[in-house]
């Protein structure tokens, strides 16, 4: 299926964003491992969270988490530390090519029984759950932060607790901080020995109820829409977003300021509008906010602002190779984006002839669809292939665009 998206001439709307997928998935896991039933309010309805919920509520021999990378990492640790569980954990063809050896090796060092059911170092995994010993473990900081978060969350259930030593550069720190804060809110003890050492003693989770915030990552597409709007009076109100959120992607409010978007707190939540002035060269390090990369890259290109965005080393192992996908799809629109050392994308203003009727491919990646849809604000109309991928994190995205005045065929 292909959606043809036509932008409105004027934008004045209020959009209620979905609940945070990152918070929802962590809350589900900690509530499952807790000593009492937890009432979770405002749980995300996206595919990734529904997959996580099904996996935790049913004891199937085979657990298929489809394309949910967070669920793969978190459930690997959960099943490995759950005595009596025997599970084959699998996913989509793309998931079977996303590396997981670092996490598996870490869990094996704690006593886990995990075997590869296919290619060495990749899912699917055969897991026999048992009580893990705990102790000390070293992990490189330049891997997926979800490995660190997965180990942190099961740490209270290990015999000795767990001390995690992080070596090298720590990327996506905001997600580790989110895990730490949520664990404390759920009653676990987390001790920061120093910036590189986290000690979590043997203990338990205890929480009666928990309210999940709306998703700051999802707000980025509305920031992009306002940045690309031709009508300077355009604005969007996003209710129930907290300025002092635990979510690392709340940094989007600062990252979009040089691109002409103003963020102000209003009684309902936050309001986005245009500042007017934009930078002439955009530079940012997104090692703590890699999920914002596609939105910022596309915004800069469509506004004609040269950019250099670093900290993108984890984008190769996401739902798709996001570095390559961005370069290929922006080339269709006439923008020659370049890569440097596997961690940087940059554009120096070079353009080429655009395709006459470009169709943006989404590569089974929800963020590709949502980052390119706002291009309609500049292009007039944009075509997106496989628009259904947005269900992974923002199921109501297309309906929300229609509510804002976009026309979708």
Query: Of residues 47, 291, 365, 400, which has the active-site annotation?
Result: 291
Closest among 54, 114, 58, 63 to 88, alpha carbons compared:
63
E-state strands within 240-325 = 261-266, 269-274, 282-285, 307-310
Q: List 263's β-bridge partners, or say none.
A: 272
CA 99 – CA 316 distance, rounded (Å): 11
Phi, psi of 205 (to 5 degrees): -105, 135
| DSSP per residue, 144-186 | -HHHHHHHHHHGGGSSS-EEEEEES---SHHHHHHHHHHHHHT
CA 29 – CA 204 distance, rounded (Å): 13
CA 338 centroid distance within chain: 23
Phi, psi of 193 (to 5 degrees): -70, -40
Beta carbons of 375 and 382 less than 8 angstroms apart: yes
Closest among 35, 28, 27 to 156, alpha carbons compared:
35
Beta strands 113-116 and 359-360, pairing class = unpaired
| Catalytic site includes residue 249 | no
Q: List 18's β-bridge partners, or say none.
A: none
SS3 state at 97: helix
Other beta carbons within 10 angstroms of residue 187's beta carbon come to: 16
Starting from the edge strand earliest in sequence, which strands make up the sheet with 261-266, in order?
Answer: 12-14, 235-239, 269-274, 261-266
What's the length of the chain? 409
Angle, alpha carbons 89-92-98 (nearest 5°): 80
Closest among 341, 284, 291, 283 to 315, alpha carbons compared:
291
CA 139 – CA 8 distance, rounded (Å): 48
Which residue bears the tokens 């306002």?
Answer: 226
CA 21 – CA 50 distance, rounded (Å): 10
- What is the set of active-site residues? 291
């Amino acid at each position: 299926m292909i959606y043809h998206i036509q932008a409105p001439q004027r934008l004045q709307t209020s959009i209620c964003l979905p609940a945070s997928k990152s918070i929802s998935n962590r809350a589900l896991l900690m509530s499952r491992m807790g000593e009492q039933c937890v009432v979770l309010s405002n749980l995300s309805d996206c595919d990734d969270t529904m997959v996580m919920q099904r996996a935790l509520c049913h004891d199937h021999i085979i657990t298929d988490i489809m394309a949910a990378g967070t669920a793969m990492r978190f459930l690997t640790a959960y099943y490995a530390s759950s005595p009596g569980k025997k599970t084959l954990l699998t996913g989509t063809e793309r998931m079977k090519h996303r590396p997981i050896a670092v996490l598996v090796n870490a869990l094996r060092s704690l006593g886990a029984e995990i075997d590869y059911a296919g290619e060495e170092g990749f899912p699917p995994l055969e897991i026999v759950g048992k009580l893990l010993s705990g102790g000390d473990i070293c992990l490189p900081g330049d891997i997926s932060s979800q490995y660190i978060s997965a180990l942190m969350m099961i740490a209270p259930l290990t015999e000795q607790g767990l001390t995690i030593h992080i070596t090298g550069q720590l990327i996506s720190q905001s997600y580790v901080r989110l895990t730490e804060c949520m664990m404390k809110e759920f009653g676990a003890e987390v001790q920061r020995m120093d910036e590189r050492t986290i000690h979590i003693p043997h203990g338990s989770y205890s929480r009666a109820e928990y309210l999940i915030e709306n998703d700051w990552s999802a707000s980025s597409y509305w920031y992009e829409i306002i940045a690309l709007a031709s009508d300077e009076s355009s604005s969007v109100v996003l209710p129930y977003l907290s300025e002092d959120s635990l979510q690392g992607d709340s940094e989007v409010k600062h990252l979009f300021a040089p691109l002409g978007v103003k963020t102000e707190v209003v009684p309902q939540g936050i309001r986005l509008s245009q500042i007017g002035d934009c930078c002439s060269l955009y530079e940012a390090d997104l090692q703590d906010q890699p999920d914002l990369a596609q939105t910022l890259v596309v915004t800069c290109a469509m506004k004609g602002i040269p950019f250099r965005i670093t900290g993108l080393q984890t984008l190769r192992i996401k739902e798709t190779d996001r570095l390559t996908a961005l370069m290929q799809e922006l080339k269709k629109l006439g923008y020659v984006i370049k890569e440097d050392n596997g961690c940087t994308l940059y554009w120096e203003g070079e353009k080429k002839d655009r395709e006459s009727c470009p169709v943006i491919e989404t590569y089974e990646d929800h963020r590709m669809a949502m980052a390119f849809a706002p291009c309609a604000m500049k292009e007039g109309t944009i075509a997106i292939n496989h628009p259904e991928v947005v269900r992974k994190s923002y199921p109501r995205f297309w309906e929300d665009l229609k509510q804002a005045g976009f026309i979708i065929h």
